[in-house]
Amino acid sequence: MSQGSALLRPVTLGDLTLPNRVVMAPTTRCRGSVPSPLHALHYARRASAGLIIAEGTLVSPQPVPFVGVPGLFSDAQVAGWRRVTDLVHSLGGRIMVQLWHAGLRPLSSTEIASAIADYRCAAANAVRAGFDGVEIAANGTYLVAQFLNPRLNRRTDAYRSPSLLLLHILDAVHSVCPRVGVRLSPYWLPTDSTPPCPAYLPSEATLSVYDDLVPPLTSLAYLHLRGPALFSPDAFSRYRKLFPGFFIANNGFSAATASDAIDSNLADAVSFARHFIANPDLVTRFALDQELSLADKAFNYAGGPEGYV
């Protein structure tokens, strides 16, 4: 029996059937602001994932966090993504897209209103482009997390409640796209890097913001939780208990730890970023207990096909 056996059990995500629980996590690769045939090849080679969550994709032309990040605000981008989704679907896969806004400086209520409108428009474009749904990036250091995470505090008078911006974005996006997930990183720290340092722990003040945020998120297709750099079952079970729906865990999992997480009901599925970068056939490798290739970081954000397809 393969180490990743629980990962290979099919599961339903609303009205989608996932043939396995190996989710491809969003991974920015900076291969162009308009998705090209190279993007299509990259995702098509990973179509055996239970679900692909395509890379962080900008909802508006500004701000640009890194050069070469794709968007969903122009017709050319919709057409480029359509090539990707058609190919993934023709290979029997499922693909959603992560919607990303890097944050605004300075912040005014007019700008926040226009950012929410941009989310709505990008979600409608995602549907037009053939995606099976969208994931709102509320993790890391970007716009939504800047409101949620007290360490990044960018709240304004109109958005004093940490979760209000996310709830407004969800309303806007739900009006045009039925399948919406959210990615959260309550354990994110300024030191969120490898090697992990156990001396830095997120404050209870931060975690309690997320404790309040999660239970009302009942309309979500899934919650995608990036856990702490050092694996801790409690870190996941804290939010698993608060969220009644489909739960995807992430950060540093192997086939064995991911399978255990599913067997112990810590998550419904597990997402992998670095393993998918280096192993397009990750599901097969898990199934056959084959050795995994290691990603060469030098190609993470380098343009071109090398280290990408």
Establish whether 187 is a catalytic residue.
Answer: no
Q: How far is the CB of 142 from ligand FMN (least distance, A)?
A: 9
| Binding-site string for ligand FMN from residue 145 to residue 184, where x marks contact by CB under 6 A and - marks none | --------------------------------------x-
CA distances from 131 to 11, 35, 86, 211, 254 (A): 19, 14, 9, 30, 28
**Torsion sign over Cα 23, 25, 30, 35:** positive
Q: How far is the CB of 261 from ligand FMN (least distance, A)?
A: 12
x/- mask, ligand FMN, residues 81-110, rule CB under 6 A, reads -----------------x------------
Cβ at position 187, least distance to ligand FMN in Å: 11
Touching ligand FMN, residues 19-78 (CB under 6 A): 25-28, 55-56
**Which residue, among 164, 168, 153, 71, has the nearest Cα to 114 in the 3D structure?**
168
Q: Which is nearer to ligand FMN, 290 or 300 (CB)?
A: 300
Q: Cβ-count burial of 155 within 10 angstroms (0-12 exposed, 13-18 middle, 19+ buried)?
A: middle
DSSP secondary structure string for all residues of 50-113: SEEEEEEEESSSS--SSTT--BSSSHHHHHHHHHHHHHHHHTT--EEEEEE----SS--HHHHH
Please pick, among 142, 159, 200, 301, the residue that the annotation labels catalytic. Answer: 142
Tell me which residue has its CB nearest to ligand FMN.
56
Q: Which residues are catalytic?
A: 142
- Which residues are at the interface with ligand FMN (CB under 6 A)? 25-28, 55-56, 98, 137, 139, 183, 226, 250-252, 272-275, 300
